Amino acid sequence: MRKYALFLVIVICLYLHSYPAEEVVSNEKKDVKYFLELNNNMKDLLDREILHAKGEKRRLDKIVELIFDRSVVGFDYSGLKTFTAEETFENRSGNCLSYTTMFIALARYAGLRAKFQEVSDYSDWNRQGDLIVCSSHINSVVEIGTRIYEVDFQYRSEKKFWNRKVIDDDRAEAHYFNNIGSEALLIGDYLLAEEFLRRSIDLDSSFSFAWTNLGVLLRKMDKSNEAEEHFKKAVMLDKKNHTAKMNLAGLYESQGFIKKSEKLKDQIKKILNRNPYYHFDLGVSEYNRENYRGAIDYFKRAIRRDHKKSEFYIKLSAAYYKLGDLKMSKKYLIKGQKYVESDQEKDKYQKKLEYIYIKLQEGRLD
């Protein structure tokens, strides 16, 4: 039998950057305003700074300038936080969906024909507890005369996107509720997650990702039969929804339906191969079986697919340590230290390095 790593995968529309888990979402239930609504502060800013500008292109340029001007708006990217247009403006932070929503609300008030646009050729993988988060991306387009301008607030990225589709506001709002529902799921607020994910589907019943994420939630709630139906619905709506197929394959394997699981895995093996956590989890399995050389191979594959995940380096270092290769263990700890964000993790790295330094000195290997 082939070896596969099993995990539950959710899909959120954001341009992902590293973030601490506690930043995901507030656990408080709040009244959700229409996501494109402007408040008086936003209108006053536009009335004062934008509406006098002559020509649509000049108004577009001025809005983008204001958003990046720290003395006016000064937006800061913030991981998994999804906000309405008003919240993004007041908080000065949010993810790509938040940022795009705020921009479109401002642009439309200024008389511009701005629309949401899905980007399907971007994905990134990150872990949150026992869930894998597959992030997608969204941006905007503005029509001025016969020209179309793409406005994309990517976070430190040079990537060019090719697979793009303009969507209506209902679909964009479905993205919004899918995001905040998934954020609630990540912190274990299942009731709120279900409410928001179902609202996403109510807004656009063809939105495959929302069906996938609701399936993940139902499986977490031990409702396997309902989860299966939601994963199947997601695949029916979008044959290219590989995360739904991953989740369905994992569900079948957990139920002992190995042939069904293998059939799905054959369909998505190329996607699995691109997922760094797929290789990382296989490495962890080999490590736990004390096959440290096999684990090293998988951990290196994970790093080749995403070299900025510090946890990959920690396990690779540990595998080399188990083989008695302290120099290589030290080498990968030092490499991984560059990608550590939290002070707690930095302390953990430093303690491991100090321990290895002592061992190297004892063996006179350094």
CATH 1.25.40.10 range(s) for the chain read 8-266, 275-363
Distance from C-alpha of 283 to C-alpha of 293, rounded to nearest angstrom: 9
The total number of residues shown for the chain amounts to 366
* Residue-by-residue DSSP string for 183-250: HHHHTT-HHHHHHHHHHHHHH-TT-HHHHHHHHHHHHHTT-HHHHHHHHHHHHHH-TT-HHHHHHHHH
Kindly give the confidence (pLDDT) of every residue in the chain, 366 residues in length, as a single tens digit, with 9 standing for 90 and above.
344 444 566 666 543 333 333 334 443 444 456 899 999 999 999 999 898 888 999 999 999 888 877 666 667 766 668 999 999 999 888 888 999 999 999 999 999 999 999 987 666 767 777 787 877 889 999 999 999 999 987 644 445 555 789 999 999 999 999 999 999 999 999 999 999 999 999 999 999 999 999 999 999 999 999 999 999 999 999 998 888 998 999 999 999 999 999 898 888 887 778 778 778 888 888 888 899 999 999 999 989 988 888 888 888 988 998 898 888 888 888 888 888 766 666 676 677 666 665 666 555 433
- CB-based burial label for 280 (10 Å; 0-12, 13-18, 19+): buried
Asked if residue 104 lies in contact with residue 154, where contact means CB atoms within 8 angstroms, the answer is: no
Nearest Cα to Cα of residue 185 among 350, 7, 17, 24:
24
* CATH class of the region 275-363: mainly alpha
* Residue-by-residue DSSP string for 314-346: HHHHHHHHHTT-HHHHHHHHHHHHTT--SHHHH
Q: What is the pTM of this model?
A: 0.75
- CB-based burial label for 176 (10 Å; 0-12, 13-18, 19+): buried
* CATH class of the region 8-266: mainly alpha
Tokens in use for 320? 């080399």
Output 345-348 pairs: Cβ under 8 A, ≥24 positions apart: 345/310
Bridge partners of residue 11, in order along the sequence: 134
Tell me the pairing of strands 113-128 and 131-144. antiparallel
Distance from C-alpha of 137 to C-alpha of 231, rounded to nearest angstrom: 21
pLDDT of residue 17: 32
